């Protein structure tokens, strides 16, 4: 029997176009999204070049329009000196992304003085997301509070982070957050088996206690998101492995499997992949759009069956209960039983 879920959103993906389409592009990334039961992706700006201007945002959206198989949005990145420019094009952007800690790409804002113009200029009612870990996260929440504005914390991975977010929410601050599958299902004990290069990810895999703290505080987690960060197997196994895991095709099966084990409910999943993302990121309805899953279909996760171009998954060989069978986008079957049916360019932008 099939179970029907509503349109599902991944608010945090890296699709590598422009600049590194051998890892992923708008076509392969959105194909992977549909295969994973995701009907809208919001793409991060740490591309090559980075998306940080009117021109680069327009070029990125144009590439997406021609190739995307599912609906999409594109973030603009906060850089030194682009706060006014970014704010001016905010209506076309999924949101503003600020990189406040070191990760992949060139967008890190080293100096806290360079954060301030962004918190001041970006429209108060429009999504502002931060890569900010540990004490950097505390600083980002302080800046948001000083500006009385919402802030969305990407990929929470630590017990101390989720505890501070709970306290901030209790104090009435407008903080929302997401947690990624790698921090719910893996921890530092898995690094050896994964191999050091493949295990590289930001935020890093944390302790078992951190992982369990995320599960214990699921009520303060607003969204699940993949942080789909494809790098090829060759790159991951090289002397300088870039950080990041693919995730679009494994997030929903892993969450459904957790539901089958009684660790969360289908309503918990729907809230964090549909209702909350839609509200926080101010996303339009996707009419006649739904995801059909078979909760009793047990299968083995295999990179060879994925649509992502990166060619691997940290969950290789995992047995999961819960398979994405069919995805219907605006009344059309977009994906069915391993086959991509949506044409390139049939995805629509979430902003106009």
User: What residues line the site for ligand DOR (CB under 6 A)?
Assistant: 14, 46, 103-105, 131, 201-202, 227, 229, 242-244
Count of residues in the chain: 352
> Which CB atom, from 50 or from 289, has the smaller least distance to ligand DOR?
50
Rounded least distance, CB 320 to ligand DOR, Å: 22
Q: 131, 102 in Cβ contact below 8 A?
A: no
Packed helices 135-146 and 159-170: angle between N→C axes, nearest 10 degrees: 20
Q: 65, 30 in Cβ contact below 8 A?
A: no
| C-alpha Rg value of the chain to the nearest Å | 19
Closest CA to 272 of 249, 252, 245: 252
- Per-residue binding string, Zn ion, 222-251, x by CB under 5 A, is -----x------------------------
> Which CB atom, from 118 or from 228, has the smaller least distance to ligand DOR?
228
> Which CB atom, from 201 or from 264, has the smaller least distance to ligand DOR?
201
Rounded least distance, CB 24 to ligand DOR, Å: 10
Nearest-angstrom CA–CA distance, 228 and 211: 19
Rounded least distance, CB 129 to ligand DOR, Å: 11
Closest CA to 144 of 120, 113, 108: 120
Q: Count CB-CB contacts under 10 A for residue 193.
A: 10
Stretch that binds Zn ion, among 147-155, 158-166, 183-191, 301-309 (CB under 5 A): 147-155
Residue 97 is a binding residue for Zn ion (CB under 5 A): no
Nearest-angstrom CA–CA distance, 341 and 352: 25
Nearest-angstrom CA–CA distance, 165 and 167: 5
Dihedral Cα 96, 102, 107, 112, nearest 10 deg: 70
| Closest chain position to Zn ion (CB) | 131
Stretch that binds Zn ion, among 57-65, 159-167, 219-227, 272-280 (CB under 5 A): 219-227
Rounded least distance, CB 97 to Zn ion, Å: 8
Stretch that binds Zn ion, among 87-95, 126-134, 270-278, 315-323 (CB under 5 A): 126-134
| Closest chain position to ligand DOR (CB) | 244
> Which CB atom, from 131 or from 274, has the smaller least distance to ligand DOR?
131
Rounded least distance, CB 200 to ligand DOR, Å: 7
Q: 241, 266 in Cβ contact below 8 A?
A: no
Instruction: Kindly give the residue spans of alpha helices, DSSP state H, lying in the chain.
Output: 26-35, 54-67, 83-88, 116-121, 135-146, 159-170, 181-185, 191-194, 196-199, 208-216, 233-236, 251-260, 266-270, 276-280
Picked from ligand DOR, Zn ion, none, the partner binding residue 46 (CB below 5 to 8 A depending on kind) is ligand DOR
Closest CA to 58 of 18, 8, 109: 18
Picked from Zn ion, ligand DOR, none, the partner binding residue 320 (CB below 5 to 8 A depending on kind) is none
Rounded least distance, CB 177 to Zn ion, Å: 12
Among 16, 23, 69, 131, binds Zn ion (CB under 5 A): 131
Rounded least distance, CB 103 to ligand DOR, Å: 3
> Which CB atom, from 235 or from 268, has the smaller least distance to ligand DOR?
235
Nearest-angstrom CA–CA distance, 261 and 255: 10
> Which CB atom, from 40 or from 47, has the smaller least distance to ligand DOR?
47
Picked from Zn ion, ligand DOR, none, the partner binding residue 289 (CB below 5 to 8 A depending on kind) is none
Residues that bind Zn ion (CB under 5 A): 131, 154, 227
């Amino acid at each position: 029997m099939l179970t029907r879920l509503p349109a599902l959103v991944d608010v945090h993906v890296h699709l590598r176009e422009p600049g590194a389409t051998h890892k992923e592009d708008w076509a392969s990334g959105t194909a992977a999204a549909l295969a994973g039961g995701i009907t809208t992706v919001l793409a991060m700006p740490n591309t090559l070049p980075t998306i940080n201007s009117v021109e680069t945002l327009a070029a990125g959206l144009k590439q997406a329009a021609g190739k995307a198989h599912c609906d999409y949005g594109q973030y603009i990145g906060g850089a030194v000196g682009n706060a006014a420019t970014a704010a001016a094009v905010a209506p076309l952007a999924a949101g503003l992304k600020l990189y406040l800690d070191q990760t992949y790409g060139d967008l890190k804002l080293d100096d806290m003085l360079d954060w301030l113009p962004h918190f001041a200029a970006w429209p108060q009612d429009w999504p502002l997301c931060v890569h900010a870990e540990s004490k950097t996260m505390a600083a980002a929440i302080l800046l948001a509070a000083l500006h009385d504005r919402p802030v969305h914390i990407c990929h929470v991975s630590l017990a101390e982070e989720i505890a501070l977010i709970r306290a901030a929410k209790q104090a009435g601050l407008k903080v929302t957050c997401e947690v990624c599958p790698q921090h719910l299902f893996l921890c530092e004990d898995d690094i050896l088996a994964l191999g050091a290069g493949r295990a590289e990810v930001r935020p890093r895999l944390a302790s078992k206690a951190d992982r369990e703290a995320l599960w214990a505080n699921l009520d303060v987690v607003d969204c699940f998101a993949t942080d789909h960060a494809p790098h090829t197997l060759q790159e991951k196994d090289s002397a300088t492995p870039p950080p990041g895991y693919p995730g679009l095709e494994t997030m929903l099966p892993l969450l459904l499997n957790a539901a089958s084990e009684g660790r969360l409910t289908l309503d918990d999943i729907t809230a964090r992949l549909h209702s909350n993302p839609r509200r926080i990121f101010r996303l339009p309805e996707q009419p006649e759009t739904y995801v059909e899953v078979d909760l009793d279909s047990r299968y083995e996760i295999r990179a060879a069956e994925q649509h992502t171009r990166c060619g691997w998954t940290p969950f290789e060989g995992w047995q999961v209960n819960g398979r994405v069978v069919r995805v219907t986008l605006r009344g059309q079957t977009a994906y069915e039983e391993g086959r991509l049916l949506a044409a390139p360019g049939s995805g629509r932008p979430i902003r106009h």
